Structure 1
Amino acid sequence: MSEARAAPRKLPLHWKMLIGFVVGLAAGLAVHYTVGGDVPAVAMVTKYLTIPVKTVFLNLIFMLVIPLLFAALVMGVSEMGDVRAFGRVGWKTLLYTVAMSALAVVLGLVLVNLLQPGAGVDEALALQLLSENAENARGIVSSAGEQPSGIDMLLSIIPSNIVAAASSNDTILSVMFFALMLGVGLVVNRNEATETLRRGIQGLFDVSMTLIGFVIRMAPYAVACLMFNMAVVFGVELLVQLGAYVGVVVLALALHLLVTYSIALKLIARRSPLEFFRGVREAMLLAFSTASSNATLPTSLRVADEELHLPRRISRFVLTVGATANQNGTALFEGVTVIFLAQFFGVELSLTQQVTVMFVCILGGIGTAGVPSGSLPVVALICAMVGVKPEGIGLILGVNHFLDMCRTTLNVTGDLAIAAMVSKDEDDIPGTEAAIGPA
């Protein structure tokens, strides 16, 4: 009698990406330091293999990013439930979520501008890489230069034609504003018709996530091609810049986690930061190991109940909403990544453009796709919007899983911290445990 053989375990996607990253980097460095990038044979490989593969990958990302972001943002807002029914608990949750996300992105942008991890690359080499598909690059840069500023930028966020806005990368804020308004409308109007609409948008979200999942499976090959293209041009200097980038991201995440949240816990929740972090360490470790907010949610709920002793009704509401809407670490990561790539390719971003990046990162954090490298479409879209070559995302994919573990730890810990802040004074209200009514 033969024994059934266990099915071989598939290699996780992030390991495949790392392999593609290393293979592409090694091949590119070998070519750079042996024959050079100007040899006709190398030009043939890039023209007919590596550039077409990375172009197909990026085009698929851009094709799906609008429906994905639109549906994710609508569902992220609508899943907050009836904010009016939760009274001040709902509004405090919303206020703290937006405020902490904004602080995270601002901290990231300040650090990446001060430390300049992408600076120092030879401008001629950067321009050489940017000259690939020069027509597309010129189109992106020229459109970025025409972006409105000041009060015109604020007015341009409100679209007069949402279909026209959805057709252009430059007006993604308009699409996100419309999605935000639609999500709010679904929150305040609960009836059979709006539930049908909500289920339809949920279907769009599910389909978009499935398709993005298929596209992401192509990422290891695209990463190899992207890294080969850049390593041929930049050589070992690429590794130096990448190490500096990882250091800045981790530093920004650590400062927001240990400093910003400690201050908020002390001033708002009236809790000892040391006691809080000691109580949530189990959830933090699980978040770091799984790199998934949703997978950590059951542990977060138990920690909030048994270690932090938060009102159960409040912690369930805040943590469930936060698993989707409070993505501080993801928003910070996206902001730092876009500015790093701008520095790497020598693209000067104005204050207006950086403010736009901040807004998109905050809104994008509300509904980040729950698939591996789910923030990748947002980063690629913001890059194109501000005139940075989107193929630069190949730089980050090899180290993305480690950074994903770090930012998920911040996301989960932030959810618990916000639950503690919201619970301050609420646990003294009689009947809060049973139901939270309007304040």
Structure 2
Amino acid sequence: MSNAPVSGKPVPTRGKLPLHWKMAIGFGLGLLLGLVVHATGGGDAEWVKAVTTYVTTPFSKIFLNLIFMLIVPLLFSALVVGIAEMGDIRALGRIGWKTLAYTVVLSSIAVIIGLVLVNVLKPGAGVDPVLAQSLLTDNAERAKEIVASVDKQPRGMDMLLSIVPSNVIGAAADNGAILALMFFAVMFGVGLVLTDSENTRILKRGIEGIFEISMTLIGLVIRLAPYAVACFMFNLAAIFGFDLLVRLGAYVGVVVLALAVHMFVVYSLALKTVGKSPLAFFRATQEASVMAFSTASSNATLPTALRVAEEKLHLPNRVSRFVLTVGATANQNGTALFEGVTVLFLAQFFGVELGIWQQVMVMLVCILGGIGTAGVPSGSLPVVALICAMVGVDPVGIGMILGVNHFLDMCRTTLNVTGDLTLATLVAHGEPDAVEQRAAVANTRA
């Protein structure tokens, strides 16, 4: 998932623990202390109340407020930049439109698979609803405000009409109307692509600057994540006990299953539609997949993916360079799937019933969020927190996700990179230079 920028010079990390290890330590300490409190029945002890009232809950709320503070500039700039990076779609012609169409279709299928599996397997169900409700009502004022807004969310035709905002500023100020803001960002990005002038080029650089600043600030906020995870997990484990571990394991299993289904079933079917052997494809792309899994970074894997596309898949450079470069940011099937599964899992865990139209809204935001997820570790965290708030789920549950995020990050990055290579193969099909290149390869082998 992570598209962390890779600089030309290695950053010295001697003597410093990687962020995901710090998160794991915070996760473990918070979970252990919370389980001890739960097992000993000390939840009502004065010192526990003091800790949750004056330490863990306030710190958790500050962390979430920092995330929400950056959501509007981050998502707006990320979506505009993501659309603009596709270049002039009119000039690109067939390749540009095919890339855009396949990206939307594959991302939609990924999110649908995730939502179906969560609804069928229900990894978050089974927690005592009384305990879940107590966390929702006692944890923080934010939770009360979020839950109170559930019935205000538009449904059916009203939901479709609300996607087009009459007031962009009002949409930016309302978490529940964030889909309208994202729609405006997409329209703005398309307008930026279609309007090629000196002024728009300056504006594009300015928005790219906002995006870079937003990512820098998110990177600073994420440094607080290990401490926030410890606070989240202490509060959750003290209330839910070992049920928390069972549900968390089920959640990880569903995410991995959904990623596997999309990678080995959907991509195989897509490749067969253009006459490609899925087995040969996966064998040819295994080097890029291993690199993606080990680095958990689409950008770090990009050089390997480009070489695999040229040497193993024999795709035209004109196609592979464009599709893989754009896909590293915009074609994040694994990230979109992960976000959808996570939101529905947390809804089940906290006993929040989501109707079909709310799940459709989740799907749409996940597809758009996959285009512009920030290129920093845990870059999908703001999108997950945003969607949770939008549909009435307490964002405090993201503490559980951060604890297992790095492993899932490795898995979904593998799907993202494989999806980019699949996308490049689909787009290259039928292109004149692709036909010539395949013929040249066949002649060489003969």
TM-score tier (shorter): over 0.9
Comparing 400-409 with 32-41, greater Cα deviation is found at 32-41
User: Does structure 1 residue 333 correspond to structure 2 residue 342?
Assistant: no
Identity rate of aligned residues, in percent? 69
How does 1:211-360 map onto structure 2 within 5 Å? 211-267=217-273, 269-360=274-365
Which residue number corresponds to residue 442 of structure 2? none
Which residue number corresponds to residue 379 of structure 1? 384
Q: CA deviation at 1:9?
A: 3.0
Q: CA deviation at 1:430?
A: 9.0
Contact 1:223 1:394 in 2 (8 A): yes
How does 1:18-29 map onto structure 2 within 5 Å? 18-29=24-35
Q: Deviations over 1:188-237 (max 9, x none)?
A: 11111001110110010000000000000000000000000000001011
Taking structure 1 as reference, are residues 280 and 272 closer, same or farther at Cα in structure 2, changes over 3 Å only? same
SS at match of 1:239: helix
Q: In the alignment, residue 234 of structure 1 is paired with which amino acid? A: F
Q: In the alignment, residue 351 of structure 1 is paired with which amino acid? A: I
User: Does structure 1 residue 97 correspond to structure 2 residue 103?
Assistant: yes
Which residue number corresponds to residue 419 of structure 1? 424
How does 1:384-423 map onto structure 2 within 5 Å? 384-423=389-428
Match of 1:16 among 3, 17, 22: 22
Which residue number corresponds to residue 9 of structure 2? none
User: Does structure 1 residue 129 correspond to structure 2 residue 138?
Assistant: no
User: Does structure 1 residue 180 correspond to structure 2 residue 180?
Assistant: no
Q: CA deviation at 1:172?
A: 0.3
What is the TM-score when the length of structure 2 is the normalising length?
0.94
SS at match of 1:131: helix
* In 1, Cα distance between equivalents of 2:13 and 2:413: 30
Comparing 26-35 with 213-222, greater Cα deviation is found at 26-35
Q: CA deviation at 1:153?
A: 0.8
Q: Deviations over 1:132-173 (max 9, x none)?
A: 256432321222211111111111011111111100100000
Which residue number corresponds to residue 146 of structure 2? 140
Match of 1:41 among 47, 60, 69: 47
Q: CA deviation at 1:270?
A: 1.3
SS at match of 2:196: coil
Which residue number corresponds to residue 168 of structure 1? 174
Contact 1:118 1:344 in 2 (8 A): yes
Taking structure 1 as reference, are residues 414 and 143 closer, same or farther at Cα in structure 2, changes over 3 Å only? same
User: Does structure 1 residue 204 correspond to structure 2 residue 204?
Assistant: no
Contact 2:132 2:351 in 1 (8 A): yes
Runs (5+) with no aligned partner, structure 1: 1-5, 434-439
Q: Deviations over 1:347-374 (max 9, x none)?
A: 0001110000000000000011010000
Contact 1:313 1:432 in 2 (8 A): no
Q: In the alignment, residue 368 of structure 2 is paired with which amino acid? A: L
Q: CA deviation at 1:34?
A: 1.4
Q: CA deviation at 1:8?
A: 3.2
Q: CA deviation at 1:428?
A: 4.9
Taking structure 1 as reference, are residues 40 and 420 closer, same or farther at Cα in structure 2, changes over 3 Å only? same
Contact 2:316 2:433 in 1 (8 A): no
* In 1, Cα distance between equivalents of 2:390 and 2:318: 41
Q: In the alignment, residue 121 of structure 1 is paired with which amino acid? A: V
Taking structure 1 as reference, are residues 337 and 214 closer, same or farther at Cα in structure 2, changes over 3 Å only? same
Contact 1:226 1:394 in 2 (8 A): yes
Q: CA deviation at 1:431?
A: 9.7
Q: In the alignment, residue 210 of structure 1 is paired with which amino acid? A: T
Q: CA deviation at 1:109?
A: 0.1
SS at match of 1:70: helix
Contact 1:311 1:427 in 2 (8 A): no
Q: In the alignment, residue 23 of structure 2 is paired with which amino acid? A: M
Contact 1:32 1:231 in 2 (8 A): yes
Comparing 97-106 with 128-137, greater Cα deviation is found at 128-137
Contact 2:136 2:144 in 1 (8 A): no
* In 1, Cα distance between equivalents of 2:146 and 2:432: 52
Q: In the alignment, residue 220 of structure 2 is paired with which amino acid? A: F
Contact 2:314 2:437 in 1 (8 A): no
User: Does structure 1 residue 370 correspond to structure 2 residue 372?
Assistant: no
Q: Deviations over 1:54-96 (max 9, x none)?
A: 0100000000011101100100000000111111111000000
Q: In the alignment, residue 330 of structure 1 is paired with which amino acid? A: T
Q: In the alignment, residue 251 of structure 2 is paired with which amino acid? A: Y
Q: In the alignment, residue 213 of structure 2 is paired with which amino acid? A: V
How does 1:42-121 map onto structure 2 within 5 Å? 42-121=48-127
Runs (5+) with no aligned partner, structure 2: 1-11, 439-446
Taking structure 1 as reference, are residues 7 and 120 closer, same or farther at Cα in structure 2, changes over 3 Å only? closer
Q: Deviations over 1:267-287 (max 9, x none)?
A: 1x2100000000000000000
Q: In the alignment, residue 15 of structure 1 is paired with which amino acid? A: W
Contact 1:322 1:415 in 2 (8 A): yes
Q: In the alignment, residue 45 of structure 1 is paired with which amino acid? A: V
Taking structure 1 as reference, are residues 259 and 15 closer, same or farther at Cα in structure 2, changes over 3 Å only? same
* In 1, Cα distance between equivalents of 2:131 and 2:139: 15
Q: In the alignment, residue 163 of structure 1 is paired with which amino acid? A: I
